[in-house]
Structure 1
């Protein structure tokens, strides 16, 4: 059996199979999944693929909302902090 390169541990797939799973549990699973992604994999594309795979069938599932939230966070511009943010170029 070939492993899924986007969900190689099967974490997201299993989360969708767990009845009664909470949003907090889904966030924990999502974090574990995100930390296990290979560095060369585009996180935004991986989340989009997972939403394409599960989002329509499981619209009310808390993992779908967690994935959507993760995608939203990745799309937001990041603020530069520290001395770079305060220095004038």
Structure 2
């Protein structure tokens, strides 16, 4: 069963990587945000924090998720002509 809050298990895997850095967590977070089908990432960030924060309060991914909650990621990139030109 796929997890709607972590569809590619990117966040779960980040928590399993020993010695992962802040920069690597930020990169994984952006990949995660782009993989969501829901346009509002905030409920998913809350779900992930509820899932991982108590067991890993000092993990760099916890800090990145908390930052993402305070400053949600930008909207998804747009492809094709609309991405290059914008809507008219």
Q: TM-score, length-normalised on structure 1? A: 0.77
Partners of 1:71 and 1:35 lie apart in 2 by 15
Partners of 1:8 and 1:36 lie apart in 2 by 7
Partners of 1:57 and 1:42 lie apart in 2 by 25
Partners of 2:39 and 2:5 lie apart in 1 by 8
For 1:69, the equivalent position in structure 2 comes to 67
Partners of 1:5 and 1:23 lie apart in 2 by 24
Structure of larger gyration radius: 1
Q: Does 1:4 align with 2:29?
A: no
Q: Across the two proteins, how many residue pairs are aligned to each other?
A: 72
User: Where does structure 1 lack aligned partners over 5 or more consecutive residues?
Assistant: 75-89
Q: Does 1:49 align with 2:47?
A: yes
* 1:42 shift after superposition: 2.5
Partners of 1:45 and 1:72 lie apart in 2 by 12
Partners of 2:51 and 2:29 lie apart in 1 by 15
Q: TM-score, length-normalised on structure 2? A: 0.78
- After the TM superposition, list the runs of 4 or more consecutive aligned residues in structure 1 that deviate by more than 3 angstroms: none
User: Where does structure 2 lack aligned partners over 5 or more consecutive residues?
Assistant: 73-88
Q: 1:43 to 1:6 in 2, by over 3 A?
A: same
